[in-house]
Amino acid sequence: MTATIAIDSKGQMMLPKPIRKRLGIQKAAFLRAKTENGQLVLHPVELSPEDELRAIVQATGYPPGPEPKNAMQIVKRAIQRVRRERR
């Protein structure tokens, strides 16, 4: 599949929906970019649930201040709860 992608004045680009759908790239996903033989290559990055949740929390700017000592336990419990609810 081939597509032309425009880069806007901020240097941002949008992947066409058929490509996102074909590769299973969801909204707010992460891609790793590298150059290979003079070409731009994008690879979907699968974050661990902890890293994904941390990225979401950081994107919101909440909570301000240091991370609590038991943050990983809180995150793991939240992930387990969400996984149970999806079943």
- Tens digit of each residue's pLDDT (9 = 90 or more) over 23-52: 888 877 788 889 999 999 988 887 777 777
Could you tell me the two tokens for 77? 């419990």
pTM of the model: 0.48
Q: What letter would DSSP give residue 11?
A: S
Q: What letter would DSSP give residue 7?
A: B
Query: For 60, phi and psi rounded to 5 degrees?
Result: -80, -15
- Class of the domain covering 1-45: mainly beta
* pLDDT at residue number 36: 93
Q: Which residues does 77 contact at the CB level (< 8 Å), separation at least 6? A: none
Could you tell me the two tokens for 81? 């709860």
